[in-house]
Amino acid sequence: MRLMRVGSPGEETPVVCADGTTWLDARPVVSDYGPEFFAGDGIARLREAIAGGALAPVNVDGERIGPPLVRPPSMLCIGMNYAAHAAESGALPPEEIVVFFKKTNTVTGPHDAIHAVQAESTLDWEVELGVVIGAPLFGEVEEETAMQAVAGYVLANDLSDRWLQLDRSGGQWSKGKSFPGSGALGPWIATTDEIPDPQALGLRSWVNDEPRQASTTADMVFAVARILTDLARVMALEPGDVILTGTPEGVALSGRFPYLSRGDTVRMTIDGLGEIVQTVGPPAL
């Protein structure tokens, strides 16, 4: 299934698609896609309602697409998880998983405008596979058990201000990753039955229709299952948490491409997860 939310910011309503074409109103089953939905067997209840014909079709054409879940409890990011991206950043592939936090109020829709912190921002794009947690996960667990805690997958644009992230970071990347709107997600969450192997997905990005990133999740240094088991040893993952699993080479930080500027359009895709298209607007400050 695909889980999506449509409507004005703060007024989104949940819709669901099970056949690849028809969107259904999910409100008879769930008020929204949040932690309670994922923790309370919401996906199973939606399947049952669809099978019983209890959900009516809804026309989403022309509607704004919001982030596919409400503000998550946590958003964790995995750094330098593609060897080629580590190299273009001037680093070796990490021997241990690099993790940092992104503020959860950064989450925005897949077509919402980008607003840099200030006019001279070094604004960079990052196409990433996001993992949505559907069950509590903590402790020493096997990879198979960890993967059973996954509710689904989502396309993400982990926008970064490299000056804040690196030059003014104080050694902590979150300062350049947490400005408003820097966490575009969507257009939908694909449940795990639609993505049987998260390590076999192509991911790509373009700026003004010029190719930037083209890779596959098979190139991750640490696969999704390894990420989950490592994180579960040191923190309790909760339903609704989102984990961004890193970006491949082809970003502006490499020096091969200019940073984003006002009027630029960023487009990115991951197999089975739709498309993000965002245009850079005026700075926020």
Query: DSSP assignment of the chain, as one string?
Result: -EEEEESSTT--EEEEESSSS-EEE-TTT-S-SSHHHHHTTHHHHHHHHHHTT-S-B---TTPPB--SSSSPS-EEEEES-BHHHHHHTT-PPPSS-EEEE--GGGEE-TTSPB--SSTT--EE--EEEEEEE-S-B-SS--HHHHHTTEEEEEEEEE-EEHIIIIIS-TT-GGGGT-STT-EEEEEEEEETTT-S-TTS-EEEEEETTEEEEEEEGGGBSS-HHHHHHHHHHHS-B-TT-EEE----S--GGGSSSPPB-TT-EEEEEETTS-EEEEEB-S---
Question: Within the chain, which residue ranges are assigned CATH 3.90.850.10?
Answer: 75-279
Q: How many Cα atoms sit within 13 Å of 8 on the Cβ side?
A: 1
Q: 86 vs 263, which has greater pLDDT?
A: 263
Query: What pLDDT is recorded for position 168?
Result: 67
Percent of the chain residues past pLDDT 90, beyond the cut:
85
Amino acid residing at 90: G
Alpha-carbon separation of residue 29 from 41, 212, 256 (angstroms): 11, 41, 49
Asked if the peptide bond before residue 68 counts as cis, ω within 30 degrees of 0, the response is no
In 3D space, the residue among 183, 188, 153, 181 whose CA is nearest the CA of residue 68 turns out to be 188
Handedness of CA 60, 202, 232, 77 (dihedral sign): negative
Handedness of CA 127, 132, 137, 143 (dihedral sign): negative
* Token couple for 194: 């639609």
- Cα–Cα distance, 213 to 125 (Å, whole number): 10
For residue 167, what pLDDT band results from cuts at 50, 70 and 90? Answer: low
Per residue in 195-236, pLDDT (tens digit) is 999 999 999 999 999 999 999 999 999 999 999 999 999 999
What CATH fold (topology level) applies to the domain 75-279? Fumarylacetoacetate hydrolase; domain 2 (3.90.850)
Per residue in 105-157, pLDDT (tens digit) is 999 999 999 998 877 779 999 999 999 999 999 999 999 999 999 999 999 99
Q: Could you please report the per-residue DSSP string of 29-41?
A: T-S-SSHHHHHTT
Q: 119 vs 241, which has greater pLDDT?
A: 241
As a whole number, mean pLDDT of residues 90-103 equals: 90
